[in-house]
Amino acid sequence: MAVLLLLLFSSLALSLPNLSSSKIYTSLSKGSSLTIQDVLISSPNPTFSAGFLNVGGNAYSFAIWFTEPLNGNFTTVWMANRDQPVNGKHTKFSLQNSGNLLLTDAGQINIWTSNTKSNSSVQLEFYENGNLVLSTSEGENLWQSFDFPTNTLLPDQLFTRNTILVSSRSKTNHSSGFYKLYFDGDGILRLRYEGPEITSVYWPDTWITTANAGRTYSNGSKIAVLDSSGYFQSSDLLQFYTSDYGFGPQRRLVLDYDGNLRVYSLDKQSGSWQVTWQHSSEPCRIHGICGANSLCINDPDVGRRCTCLPGYKMKNQTDWSYGCEPDFQLTCNDKSRSGFLQLLHVEFYGFDLSFFPNITFEACKNVCLNYCGCKGIQYRFSLDFGYYNCYPKNILFNGYRSLNFPDPIFIRLPKVNLSTVENPNEDFNLQCNDVITPLDRTYKRKNQDWMKSFIWCTLAVGSFEIICMLAYLLKTRRHSNSGIHCYLQVATGFRKFSYAELKKASRNFSQEIGRGGGGVVYAGILSDNRFAAIKCLKEAIQGEAEFLAEISTICRLNHMNLIEMWGYCAEGKHRLLVYEYMENGNLAISLYCNKLNWRKRFEIALGTARGLAYLHEECLEWVLHCDVKPQNILLDSNYQPKVADFSLSKLLKRSGIESTNFSKIRGTRGYMAPEWIFNLPITSKVDVYSYGIVVLQMITGWGSFGNHANDNSIVMEPRGLVTWVKENIKGPDIGRISRIKGIVDPSMNGDFDMRRMEILVEVALKCVEEDKDARPTMRQVVDMLLHQDSDDEFLITKSSLGDKTLLL
């Protein structure tokens, strides 16, 4: 016992009161009580302890925690009085003679009670699984802590119709927060945000049916449990395995203060809790996180960020959950005084006043202006019906800004204030003039620069994101640590750079041109006067050996339509990649800026197809790109396309391609093939599909970027484009030419080769077939486009014959 006391003393002293006068109990019987110094344990070497835990200042809560502290902090699993901490002095947790458990503080006020009663002898016992149980000598179970969880479920603790998990208020404040996990009336396990003003369910996603979310109210029971092997099962058929599935590690399922439901497993080696499952990897999809009238932005480097909408100001300077409030006066009776501000790539989930299908943008604006409570509108193209729908909003809540949202939102502001709002889309603004002019401006840190950089990253400079290749590369790691042997070294001048050299080339890393999960990209001029893009990978991403193994694979990919890597640097903790600089930015910007004539477009389509065909078939290993989109097609000074950013790619053995399962959806909404959605085998045809969408965008000029200066150019979801194109060109051969003319980007002013255009349309539509087997391979695409090329002269003469359908 002495040894035990010593052990407890040394491990608990940090946040428990002075323990030298404490007692250790293994159970409580009627009439006895615990004071602030006392601890209840289950066994001589207990996993859990129960007692009073300091929650700040002189405030204590009666709690259960993991006995072993991590970094001096205790991990709590349960609290009796999380919302009403007690004073440190004269506080007691007692088992009354009536059989009731009672927590009283100094003023003899009853803080918490178990509301139990029994005439027979009663014991409070603590079990090794963390359950605190009050039972009679006859074995009747009167009360147990497992029936009243706070924010944590332990293995084998049943979650039932009567239990809810409530998140903590913040990382340091244990009192009840805004997020709840509960069984809904229909038997589905849901997560709900219950904020000061607004309540909304955010898991499973409410826009998909519960059946599509893989849930169903199978039978009358509402029950869920995480077992000790890390398998979670619920009566609504939700189930998952933790990433470290198997018996052994201690685990806990926690509804975290940020609204994410996570399983943590204790990693004994590092002495820390590791997340081994979480319900969402997109923190901005969790509702209420930034309050009303604000935007949530997910920065790969910093994590989640909140910002007020233009014209709004933060309500409570220290707490985002209160959101933002208007910093303007809206005069409702005078419609002419309010206007709309367009915000790109923003979605506000829910709180629609109404829904108006197939109406014009003008009419949609009028609907909003006529209703005083209307705060803004979402005007969105419907894929299913092929027209625009209008959603006036009475609350701007769950605002999320992401390039994955093609649609803009229009917020209502007084006209006097509209003019004073400075560049609401600054971060997302694409300036056509100086898209990329090397080294013309120096990097200066502003509050929101990270945002701009984030966008630049996606927009301007593609990069080889190499982390994802690790799985494959670890297998092929056969290169020595000392350097790497690239057989293209001589041909391409591939070499190792010193850190000092790159620092100088990039002027002390002063001009940032991109930023992504893997690191920051800077512009630079090498000693031989070549413009280069220099990517600094995040520190500690990987060891030198892995890094070099990856480089040696990347440098073997060599094709004129793939971005070229010139070298690398691995010095100390620095990991840098050097690759060619693309003067003309990417296809998305060029389309948006109307820089592309017909010839350029055709060449980009062909070059991109060649690059992808090389990746799929010609190079040493199979490479799926998995994220083909205009932003990842860079253009050189001659507008030759170079495919970039293999961030989501995976190198696969040629033979294994058909049988390989991808565990997670990759790619960008709108460009993703149906296989991702329907969980079918992923093959090179997913890239063919995305390629088809890109080509359709080039033909029609429908970029994913709306011109915010012009209300009429509402952006269209890429997949909607397929439907639209098919609708518009279907019909008899007679008049086909004029129908095709009807879909072509008006900014080409009709200046294009009709027969090639026909082929391009044909090829693109084949590429976007729902059935992957009906799609051509990239090699076949190249052939179809090239075949046309070789007959160029023939075609020019023939095309003068007039409208004639061309068969492939």
Q: Which residues are catalytic?
A: 627
| Residue 227 binds ligand NAG (CB under 6 A) | no
135 contacts 105 by C-beta, under 8 angstroms = no
Q: Which of 26, 73, 209, 805 binds ligand NAG (CB under 6 A)?
A: 73
Chain-centroid distance, C-alpha 210: 22
> Shortest distance, CB of residue 741 to ligand NAG, whole angstroms?
21
Return the structure tokens found at 632. Answer: 């990842």
According to CB under 6 A, which one of 1, 2, 119, 771 is a site residue for ligand NAG? Answer: 119
Scan residues 658-677 and list those touching ligand NAG (CB under 6 A). 659, 661
- Name the minimum Å distance from CB 726 to ligand NAG: 15
311 is a contact residue toward ligand NAG (CB under 6 A): yes
Contacts of 313 (CB under 8 A, 6+ apart): 324, 325, 327
Query: Candidates 138-146, 212-220, 263-271, 483-491 — which segment interacts with ligand NAG by CB under 6 A?
Result: 212-220
| Spatial distance between the Cα atoms of 566 and 579, rounded to a whole number of angstroms | 5
Helix (H, G, I), strand (E, B) or coil at 579: strand
Is 538 near ligand NAG (CB under 6 A)? no
User: Do 579 and 514 contact (CB within 8 A), yes or no?
Assistant: no
Phi-psi map region of 727: left, alpha, beta (phi>0 left; psi -120 to 50 alpha) = alpha
Q: Which is nearer to ligand NAG, 222 or 600 (CB)?
A: 222
In the numeric block, which tokens belong to residue 652? 């696969």
Answer yes or no: is 222 a known binding residue.
no
**What x-and-dash track marks residues 367-406 binding ligand NAG by CB under 6 A?**
------------------x-x-------------------
Residue 72 sits in the site that holds ligand NAG (CB under 6 A): yes
How many residues are there in the chain? 808
Q: Please, which residue, 119 or 269, has the CB nearer to ligand NAG?
A: 119
> Binding ligand NAG by CB under 6 A: which of 220, 572, 656, 732?
220
H-helix segments, 403-493: 415-418, 449-459, 470-475, 489-492
For the CB of residue 508, give the shortest distance to ligand NAG in the complex, in Å: 4
Instruction: State in angstroms the smallest separation of the CB of 156 from ligand NAG.
Output: 14
Give whichever of 241 and 328 is closer to ligand NAG, judged by the CB atom.
328
String marking each residue 487-526 x if it binds ligand NAG according to CB under 6 A: --------------------xx------------------
> DSSP strand E in 483-639: where?
495-496, 512-516, 519-525, 531-537, 565-571, 574-580, 622-624, 633-635
Within the chain, how many helices (H) and strands (E) appear?
17, 47
Q: How far apart are CA 279 and CA 282, in angstroms?
A: 9
Of the candidates 629, 494, 613, the residue with the CA atom closest to the CA atom of residue 548: 494
Q: Please give the size of the binding site for ligand NAG, defined by CB under 6 A.
A: 34
Per-position x/- string for 319-358, each x denoting binding to ligand NAG as judged by CB under 6 A, each - no binding: x-------xx-----------------------------x
Measured distance CA(528)–CA(511) in Å, rounded = 19
Interface with ligand NAG in residues 20-39 (CB under 6 A): 20-21
Residue 698: name the closest of 730, 742, 745, 741 by CA. Answer: 745
- Judged by CB under 6 A, the chain residues 145 through 184 that form the site for ligand NAG are 169, 171-173, 175
Nearest distance from C-beta of residue 98 to ligand NAG, angstroms: 9
Shorter beta-carbon distance to ligand NAG: residue 80 or 763: 80
> Does 527 contact ligand NAG by CB under 6 A?
no
What φ, ψ does residue 651 adopt, rounded to 5°? Answer: -85, 135
- 416 scored as a contact of ligand NAG (CB under 6 A): yes
Separation between Cα atoms, residue 342 and residue 329, nearest integer Å: 19
Shortest distance, position 796 Cβ to ligand NAG, whole Å: 39
| 495's tokens | 């070499």
- Of 581, 560, 591, 799, give the one whose Cα is nearest residue 695: 591
Query: Could you give the CA distance from residue 93 to residue 734 in angstroms, rounded to a whole number?
Result: 89
CB of 677 to ligand NAG, least distance (A): 15
Could you say which residues in the range 566-585 bind ligand NAG, by CB under 6 A?
Answer: none
Residue 655 lies near ligand NAG (rule: CB under 6 A): no
Radius of gyration of the chain (CA): 31
Q: CB 285 → ligand NAG: shortest distance, Å?
A: 24
Binding site for ATP: which residues? 535
Binding site: which residues? 535
Instruction: Give me the residues that bind ligand NAG (CB under 6 A), please.
Output: 18, 20-21, 56, 71-73, 119, 169, 171-173, 175, 218-221, 235, 311, 316, 318-319, 327-328, 358, 385, 387, 416-417, 420, 507-508, 659, 661
